[in-house]
Structure 1
Amino acid sequence: MTEVFVSRDVGASEALLREHYSAMRVRPTDGRHLLRMDQRRLGRLRLDQNTFGMTLEVEAAPLGAVVVARVLAGTASYGRGHDERRYRRGDLYVTADPDEGFCATLDDFQGAIAVLDPSLLDEIAEPSPGAGSTVRLVSLDPSSASAADLWWRTYCFVRDSTDAAGSEALSPIFEQEARRLLGAATVAAFPSTADVEPTIEDRRDAHTRTLRRAAQFIEANAWRDITIKEIAEAAGVTIRTVQLSFRRHLDTTPTAYLRGVRLQYIHDELVANDPARTTVSEVASRWGFCNFGRFAAQYRTQFGELPAHTLRH
């Protein structure tokens, strides 16, 4: 679902920002005022593209969300004095800790923004020992330029896949997978309390029995939205162990294995269905594939033919 909001009034802009982010006080400092918010919603994930056609000072209450931004134009400054953080075109950052308010100055700022529920981080990773019960980011800046680039490519992939679906409703599977994909990119891009390195126990437990239990769970539940955390629980091991077992024995990832299983189910449906009553896009969408060009390429790699050919023959 895509929505666009435009305001040229300070009061209306404060109301929009309060509704979509948190309580804020805004002060234009140069007599201009233009706010445009372009939003794409995928379940509990929101992709925004915001334009502030002005120089604006902001005082905001805690956002209650992990809000990651990439500057497309203009500049953004957060904090005051020695603690001030300044960002310009191409920079990636987290606006603030979810539980902390902030002050900012936006100067003709245009940004691509992802609004993530903090609980998402716990769906894709586990906290390091002694780091508390939840995964959280410990820096507002990315760990490296390459990590920031990976996050941006992931954001663009999710956004473009959403756009490719057009006015068609996105499947719940796609919405949840897109949300976790961007969450995983966020954990990879920013220093966090996530425990990403396998322990001695993880390496010991990443045997073929673990792989078999995980694969059986995936194959039995591929029709619904499933998380890496659920797969690990079904296999009786940690997330890291599951990831290591797939890499060690199949040279792949749990996510790629799940995608292959879903492609097999799609293939079986296309073989069994009447082309006069079924379309490739309907079947693919139901299984969580919304970027049909990418889907067709993956299908052809796995089965040696395009899905339309399978349906016709």
Structure 2
Amino acid sequence: MESLYFSPAVPPDVVLSRFEVCRTRDLDEARHWGERIFCANRLRSLDAKGSVNTRIYYRRLGGIGIGRMSYGGDISIDPGQLETFSLIQMPIRGQERIDFGEQRVLSDPTVASILNAHVPFVINHSNSTEKLIIRLDNNVLERHCQQHLGRSLRKDIEFQAAMPLDTPQGRRWMRMVGWLYDSLSADEGELPPILASQFEHTLVSMLLACQPNNYSAELMADEGPSIAPSFVKRVERYIEEHAHEPISIVDMAEYAGVSSRSLFTGFRRFRNTSPMLYLKEVRLRNVHEELQRQSPGGSTVTAVAFRWGFSHLGHFTTDYKRRFGESPSETLAR
């Protein structure tokens, strides 16, 4: 069975044909290329003869990588868990079985699979299978999700593992995938950064919209500012104007003329955050903007962080990198 949903302008066998990185009948070499593109893994042939005919086509584009691959044999792939990226797999023929502990996904041309970072899994790849793959770096996925939400993430993004492709959302996703593969198959030159960024943005935005995840409800919800109580808006303005000063929840509640409990409830219901997390978000944004404005030797990361109320530099650096996709020192060095 071949995919009815992947319909590129170029024939499937020509997709990314200019970007072949591996063609081998040696299992160890196939494992080596899997480690170069993805991560360390235990690759094992399930065929008594141990035969493979591996072909991998792959192109890197900023924080994403797109590819087409087949192992040409019955293979078990056990990488443990992905640490720094998520992986989307879309068979265009054949099938795979992916085991996540007690959960199992049978992936074929009608059902794609998403391998989330930090979730252990094992793939059983059948001999006749050929698949499209999209590798998404964690920092890219998090950065775009944060931009849509307008705040930092408190948990890793986790997608539903099975992606049915015969639904309106699945067909929408595959139309975008077909366009992306067509564009990147035909253009073998170095893409301008602005175009690479546009591909990246389109891909991640479509994934967040089409595939259920632990932020879907918030991403799909109507924005709340127009219906939020006036005291929530007053406290937001207060935070914006006084973020450089020591501010407590008591200060905010007194300014708004409500109880601390009402303030927490208002922010949780209408902003899906807490007043103190909102304050941290404003301070992070101000640090980011100030570091961007600094001239070489004008200041230090430590001085700017302290000025905006961050006394624990380890926690600050972690939060900053998660929010902006780079360390504060990298921002200062630009």
Identity, % of aligned positions: 16
Residues 112-191 of structure 1: pairs in structure 2 closer than 5 A: 112-126=132-146, 132-133=153-154, 136-142=157-163, 145-165=167-187, 167-191=188-212
Superposed displacement of residue 202, structure 1: 5.6
Per the alignment, residue 93 of structure 1 pairs with 113
Superposed CA offset, 1:99-153 (max 9, x none) = 1231111002210111011222333334879995256124112377221221111
Name the CA distance, whole Å, in 2 between partners of 1:132 and 1:170. Answer: 30
Superposed displacement of residue 164, structure 1: 3.1
Name the CA distance, whole Å, in 2 between partners of 1:193 and 1:121. Answer: 13
Residues 201-216 of structure 1: pairs in structure 2 closer than 5 A: 201=225
1:131–1:193 CA contact under 8 A, matched in 2: no
Superposed displacement of residue 82, structure 1: 4.9
Name the CA distance, whole Å, in 1 between partners of 2:138 and 2:41. Answer: 20
Superposed displacement of residue 161, structure 1: 1.5
Name the CA distance, whole Å, in 1 between partners of 2:75 and 2:131. Answer: 14
Name the CA distance, whole Å, in 1 between partners of 2:124 and 2:33. Answer: 18
TM-score by length of 2: 0.55
Residues 223-238 of structure 1: pairs in structure 2 closer than 5 A: none
Superposed displacement of residue 16, structure 1: 1.1
SS in 2 for 1:139: coil
2:100–2:120 CA contact under 8 A, matched in 1: no
Name the CA distance, whole Å, in 1 between partners of 2:77 and 2:224. Answer: 48
1:128–1:193 CA contact under 8 A, matched in 2: no
Superposed displacement of residue 90, structure 1: 2.8
SS in 1 for 2:138: coil
2:90–2:132 CA contact under 8 A, matched in 1: yes
Superposed CA offset, 1:160-196 (max 9, x none) = 112332x332111111110111111111122123322
Name the CA distance, whole Å, in 2 between partners of 1:80 and 1:135. Answer: 17
Per the alignment, residue 287 of structure 1 pairs with none
SS in 2 for 1:199: coil
Name the CA distance, whole Å, in 1 between partners of 2:20 and 2:101. Answer: 37
Q: Aligned Cα RMSD in Å?
A: 2.9
Of the structure 1 ranges 155-164 and 51-60, higher mean CA displacement relative to structure 2 is found in 155-164
Q: Does 1:199 align with 2:199?
A: no
Per the alignment, residue 65 of structure 1 pairs with 85
Superposed displacement of residue 29, structure 1: 1.8
Name the CA distance, whole Å, in 2 between partners of 1:110 and 1:57. Answer: 15
Evaluate the alpha carbon distance shift between residue 185 and residue 80 of structure 1 in structure 2; reply closer, same or farther with a 3 A threshold: closer
Per the alignment, residue 75 of structure 2 pairs with 56
Name the CA distance, whole Å, in 2 between partners of 1:129 and 1:202. Answer: 16
Q: Residue type matched to 1:97 in 2?
A: N
1:67–1:116 CA contact under 8 A, matched in 2: yes
Name the CA distance, whole Å, in 2 between partners of 1:170 and 1:36. Answer: 25
Per the alignment, residue 314 of structure 2 pairs with none
SS in 2 for 1:53: coil
Name the CA distance, whole Å, in 1 between partners of 2:80 and 2:29. Answer: 18
Evaluate the alpha carbon distance shift between residue 93 and residue 189 of structure 1 in structure 2; reply closer, same or farther with a 3 A threshold: farther
- Gaps (5+ residues) in structure 1? 205-240, 242-313
SS in 2 for 1:170: coil
Evaluate the alpha carbon distance shift between residue 143 and residue 135 of structure 1 in structure 2; reply closer, same or farther with a 3 A threshold: farther
Name the CA distance, whole Å, in 2 between partners of 1:48 and 1:202. Answer: 44
